[in-house]
A and B are shown apart, each in its own frame.
Chain A
Amino acid sequence: SAVISQKPSRDICQRGTSLTIQCQVDSQVTMMFWYRQQPGQSLTLIATANQGSEATYESGFVIDKFPISRPNLTFSTLTVSNMSPEDSSIYLCSVGGVGSSTGELFFGEGSRLTVL
């Protein structure tokens, strides 16, 4: 298993500002995934973050809006830039566990952002 800590757990932000979410994992992992969950909706993958390389973004998500850093094998950050009310969501960091099946991801508790 993997234990994931995310900060902040929640925040209220003003339109036009940016916020950086931190994700810390208790073990070294190759790939980290960032998901977004809009109110009442499912999880949508934003990007995959590998250590030492640029993140790979899914269709509809761009680096200028969601820059990601992955400085080492236990840490990543996701920045939500130039926020608008449509960015109000829960942002979740996830990783696969060492030795787990590829279908099993562990999730942080999420960062609930409200943009006014």
Chain B
Amino acid sequence: GQSLEQPSEVTAVEGAIVQINCTYQTSGFYGLSWYQQHDGGAPTFLSYNALDGLEETGRFSSFLSRSDSYGYLLLQELQMKDSASYFCALSDSWGKLQFGAGTQVVVTP
């Protein structure tokens, strides 16, 4: 089977940088995705790594190292609106996702 681990909660102040780590165990996968979910809302796609390395999308960046079974999401220039849950997820070739438990990011003034 597959398993993903990520911290349950991270707190940071506005303007700071936050890194959410995701370690995984799997026999095979296509890529690692990141999703944001605000309370009461649907998950929204943030970033995806099919290959090792860094992907940058605005204030958000994601990294994957297959050799270390590890990835992270980097949130820069934190804003209050970034307070949400963030999920890493492993995808297969069909697009099916298995999600981690999620990290609650709390941004304080």
Contacts and interface: CB of A to CB of B under 8 A. Distances in A.
Q: Do A and B come from one complex?
A: yes
Interface of A: 31, 33, 41-45, 48, 92, 96, 101-110
If over half of A's interface residues share one DSSP class (helix, strand or loop), that class is named, otherwise mixed; here it is strand
Contacts of A105: 33, 43, 45, 95, 97
Given A33-B96, A43-B43, A107-B44, A102 B91 contact: yes
Contacts of A45: 96-98
A44 B2 CA distance: 13
Interface residues of B, number: 26
Interface of B: 30-33, 41-45, 48-50, 87, 89, 91-102
Nearest to B98: A45
Contacts of A31: 94-96
A110 B101 CA distance: 18
Contacts of A110: 42
Contacts of B87: 42-43
Given A44-B99, A48-B94, 10 more contacts: A31-B95, A33-B97, A42-B102, A43-B97, A43-B99, A101-B48, A102-B91, A103-B49, A103-B50, A104-B95
A33 B91 CA distance: 13
